């Protein structure tokens, strides 16, 4: 439930937009790190969405490899940060260990807000450092980066790896935007993407304590699947 903003919660938030942004005051926050700017007036029983929200997560919980949605665009943001645009008015801004998602009433406001994100205590936006992704995410980026060395296009790479061409394009773009040495020393995954997907399903089921029964695995096997896919399931 949303409630008035508490100073202690703001101090713990990695990124926000200040006490107001684009004429929208900061009106509420919740325990999950969601900050709401402005208000709206519901015209039906379905309620309404405020003009602007900011949600802070870790790059382990939310990143382009873990999400089963192909972004419309991936680009560099304010230095070495990486931004991913998904649906209308939704942008992920990734830097260090944080993914900050902006939800806005339109693409223009979302892009403006992403450019203005700043850490608590900063009076103005500073250049962003590159995102720090978990090892499992880096391995999947390395998988497609190595497959692209022969000059094959996304369609050919996708067929060889069992990954959709849109996913291949996204991962190649993210890998290109990372610092040159980010994937140096990262091993190419030995397990196929199909096997990784199976591990993900085991990890999803583990959250509801159904993995052992549904997949006929031992407790140790479930733990290993969860460990191998840390950063690929939206939960860390």
Predicted confidence band of residue 157 (pLDDT cuts 50, 70, 90): very high
Q: Which residues contact 142 (CB under 8 A, 6 or more apart)?
A: 175, 183, 186, 187, 188, 189
On the question of pLDDT at 2 being above 80, the answer is no
Q: Taking a C-beta distance cutoff of 8 angstroms, is the pair 201, 156 a contact?
A: no
Highest mean pLDDT among 122-126, 172-176, 210-214: 172-176
Question: Tell me: the pLDDT tens digits for 8-17?
Answer: 444 455 899 9
Question: Tell me: the pLDDT tens digits for 51-71?
Answer: 999 999 999 999 999 999 999
- Cα separation, 178 vs 211, in Å, equals 35
Tell me the mean pLDDT in the region 150-173. Answer: 96
Calculate what percentage of the chain has a pLDDT beyond 90. 79
Q: Which two tokens stand for residue 149?
A: 């060395």
User: What pLDDT sits at residue 43?
Assistant: 66
Rounded to 5 degrees, what angle do the CA atoms 113, 12, 134 make? 80
- Cα separation, 107 vs 91, in Å, equals 9
User: Does residue 121 or residue 229 have the better pLDDT?
Assistant: 229
81 burial (CB, 10 Å; 0-12 / 13-18 / 19+) is buried
Cβ atoms within 10 Å, residue 203: 22
On the question of pLDDT at 162 being above 70, the answer is yes
Global model pTM greater than 0.75: yes
Domain ranges of the chain: 7-116, 135-177, 193-228
- Cα separation, 223 vs 205, in Å, equals 11
């Amino acid at each position: 439930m949303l409630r008035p903003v508490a100073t202690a919660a703001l101090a713990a938030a990695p990124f926000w937009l200040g006490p107001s942004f684009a004429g929208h005051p900061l009106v509420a926050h919740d325990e999950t790190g969601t900050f709401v700017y402005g208000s709206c007036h519901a015209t039906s029983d379905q309620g309404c969405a405020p003009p602007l929200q900011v949600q802070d997560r870790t790059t382990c919980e939310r990143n382009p490899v873990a999400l089963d949605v192909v972004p419309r665009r991936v680009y560099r943001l304010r230095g070495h940060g990486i931004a991913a645009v998904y649906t209308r008015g939704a942008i992920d801004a990734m830097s260090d260990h944080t993914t900050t998602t902006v939800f806005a009433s339109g693409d223009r406001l979302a892009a403006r807000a992403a450019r203005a994100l700043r850490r608590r205590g900063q009076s103005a936006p500073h250049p962003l450092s590159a995102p720090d992704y978990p090892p499992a995410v880096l391995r999947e980026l390395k998988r497609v980066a190595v497959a692209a060395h022969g000059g094959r296009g996304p369609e050919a790479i996708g067929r060889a790896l069992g990954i959709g061409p849109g996913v291949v394009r996204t991962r190649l773009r993210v890998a290109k935007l990372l610092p040159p040495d980010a994937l140096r020393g990262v091993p190419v995954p030995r397990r196929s993407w199909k096997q990784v997907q199976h591990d993900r399903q085991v990890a999803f089921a583990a959250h509801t304590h159904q993995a052992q029964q549904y997949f006929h695995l031992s407790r140790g096997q479930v733990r290993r699947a969860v460990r191998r896919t840390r950063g690929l399931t939206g939960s860390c």
